[in-house]
Amino acid sequence: MNSLMYDTYTIFWRELKRYKKSRSGVLIRLIQPAIWIIVVGNIFSGTQPLIQSVGFDGEYIEFMAPGVIILTAIFTSIFGGVNTLWDRRYGFMNKALTSPISRSAIALGKMSAISLIAAMQASLILGIALAIGVNFPNPIMIAPIMAIVILFSLGFSGISVMVAATAKSQETFWGMINFLGMPLFMLSPALFPLELLPNWLAVIAKLNPVTYTVLLVRELMTGVSEGGIPILLSLGILFAFVLVMIGLASYVFTREVNKPF
């Protein structure tokens, strides 16, 4: 157990070192969520009466800001595993695989690094939201919000690491990731209240871990709870999701990297 932690930290350290040296990507990756929050937030400002009808009395942009924070977390973490493919192509993976560290530690190290990076990106988006006038009644809430984003990204990066370990090429990876990322975002109350979704969509949305994360962050940011789902239930579902993803990702990753690339 001790050595699993040490090995996970080794990989985590390596991933963050690499991230730090390739900083130019940080700003580029912020453009898309910034456009979402600035452009989409204003395009739909006319929907205020709709969101008021479900008990939310702020502006639309305040309603959707938590959604865009989660959007940032989703895409940063789901793209984050792509360097697994480079590692396999350029030999780092073989280097790690012939050393005594466990395969799970490689997956977990990558996941924890990705989740931290996702949280940093999300915090920058939170900053943009505040800068353009989103109201944030209780700044202390920033700590639990970040904790939730880290947790959520840890689970979500598992998807990325699994797909990257399974895919043999960049094309397969990006195909799978685009197929998964957008629907998971859209099928959640990130942009629109759960109560206003057609029934069948609401049912699907309730199977989506993104939904509970958005509800949690929105409640912490705005103080409005939505859809009658208690905080503890959302937290429980989020924890369960993360644990399942950690287990699944370690298993799939170990199985896949033992096959010749």
Partner 1 sequence: MYSIETKSLTKSFGDVIAVNDISFSVNSGEIFGFLGPNGAGKSTTMMILTTLLKPTSGQALISEFDVMGNAKKVRERIGYVQQETTVDEYLTGRENLLLQAKLNHIPKNEINSRIDEVLELIELSDKQNDSVVTYSGGMRKRLDIAGGLLHRPKVLFLDEPTVGLDIQTRRKIWEYIKKIHKEFDMTIFLSTHYMEEADNLCDRIGIIDGGIIQVIDSPENMKNAMGNEVISIIMDNTHNRESFLSQLKKIEFVKNINEDGTKLTLFVSNGTQVIPKIFQISSEFKIKINTISLTRPTLDDVFLSYTGHEIRDDDSHFNRKREHAKMKRLRS
Interface residues with partner 1 (CB under 8 A) are: 3, 6-7, 10, 13-14, 17-18, 21-22, 90-92, 94-101, 260
- The residue among 88 and 218 lying less far from partner 1, judged by its C-beta, is 88
- The residue among 139 and 260 lying less far from partner 1, judged by its C-beta, is 260
Place of tokens 């990702």: 249
Nearest distance from C-beta of residue 258 to partner 1, angstroms: 8
Nearest distance from C-beta of residue 142 to partner 1, angstroms: 31
**From CA 166, how far away is CA 163, in angstroms rounded?**
5
**From CA 27, how far away is CA 32, in angstroms rounded?**
10
Contact 103, 254 (CB under 8 A): yes
- With CA atoms as reference, report the closest residue to 204 among 231, 181, 180, 183: 183
**From CA 178, how far away is CA 165, in angstroms rounded?**
16
- The residue among 73 and 105 lying less far from partner 1, judged by its C-beta, is 105
Nearest distance from C-beta of residue 173 to partner 1, angstroms: 19
Nearest distance from C-beta of residue 11 to partner 1, angstroms: 9
- The residue among 95 and 144 lying less far from partner 1, judged by its C-beta, is 95
Nearest distance from C-beta of residue 6 to partner 1, angstroms: 8
- The residue among 101 and 119 lying less far from partner 1, judged by its C-beta, is 101
**From CA 77, how far away is CA 69, in angstroms rounded?**
12
**From CA 19, how far away is CA 149, in angstroms rounded?**
19
